[in-house]
Structure 1
Amino acid sequence: MKTLLHIDASARTNRSLSRELSARFIKEWKTKRPNDCIIRRDVGIKPPPATTEAWIDAAFTDEANRSYEQRQELKLSDLLINELVQSDIIVIGTPMYNYGMPVSLKAWIDQVIRVNKTFSFDLSRGEHPIKPIQSGKTLVILSASGEGGFLSEQQNANDNYLHPHIIKCFELLGVENHHIIAIEYQEFGDARHSKSLEDAHNAVPNLVENLTTYIHDL
């Protein structure tokens, strides 16, 4: 049995294309593997708090020396990290806001990238002192944007700070493989958007088929 962590980051609860896409992915997955565990985390509806000085002090205090207040400060972070550690596949439905990720998703990332919990830091490694503690995870990014041409080698790829940022952060969380399905041109509402929407929804069952086949073959 595998565990999926399903995260939605859109501030919209209705008319959200990224939510529709992630829901489609989970539905297709359950059809293929009904006994797998799905952990649901909706940061769009209930965003984690931003990190504070008190949170940082607690995170960088040795666990054995933390006060009761510091342990309480990290209580949500511990819960979110536990969900992440359990998960083999992380499925993120997210819009592109101002060429990057929603603040709610960034807040979740800041809660789970934590020294000695999800990554280690050792200056003896030279210029690359950070290493993830977890490994072998797969990331699926299901995104939606108002403009288009953001994918690799397209005309606006240099303006895409959503996918590269998520991928880089998740390397610290043990992700070794990632897949992207993107809906684009939502604000244009033209033929390009219609095609992008259709292509994205058609790509979901194909990706699920590939991933579930790979799991079965392990």
Structure 2
Amino acid sequence: MNIVDADVALELASHEGLVRQAYKDSVGVLTWSIGVTNASGHKVDRYIGKPQTLEHCLAVYVWLLEAKYAPAVRSAFKGRSLTKAQFAAALSFHYNTGAIGRADWVKEWVAGDVAGARKAIMNWCTPKEITARRMAERDLFFDGKWSNDGRVTEYIRVTAKMTPDWGSGKRIDARAAIAAALGDKPAAPAPTAAPAPANDNAPAPRGWLAALLALFKRIAA
């Protein structure tokens, strides 16, 4: 079964921005860390005016990837085997759009129409600023071409209007922090590379996810 490992988490993160305190995105949605919103089940209001450590930001991020987003990707491709590159690309697409279960390109690929799927993934380019990300996901899924170098753009300041100060962006190496969140060794650049429970009814975590939750509890204590 495909899992969220360092390569997968870093590839997706490379398409997002990191802000350690809660901010408002381009349409006013309260957001934190790497694209985490209240819709994920992890309430981000607690981070208004309260920047968190990089380790905590990324621990919650990778936990949500595995607990909330990866299951939908696995379900959408049920019965078909995915490479790690394909899983990473599909997970990035779903994290951004929430549409892995209804996207035509997924259905076409599962049905065996690879050429049609490759073309159809580019139908998801609204707003136009997302085009470069969609191209990267396409190239990763269909050609196995990774695009991340282990770094993420962090915006270190938030304005009085709670929007990121875009001029404060800097590239940081996130490999060690991602590896720590996963309880793994630091990842090499991809080839050419405890969070709080999402809700009270979430299933009990197992394996490395349980260890990750234990780590969060120690951090939060």
State the TM-score bracket (shorter-chain normalisation): under 0.3
Rg comparison, structure with higher value: 1
TM-score under structure 1 normalisation? 0.25
Higher relative contact order (CA 8 A, sep 6+): 2
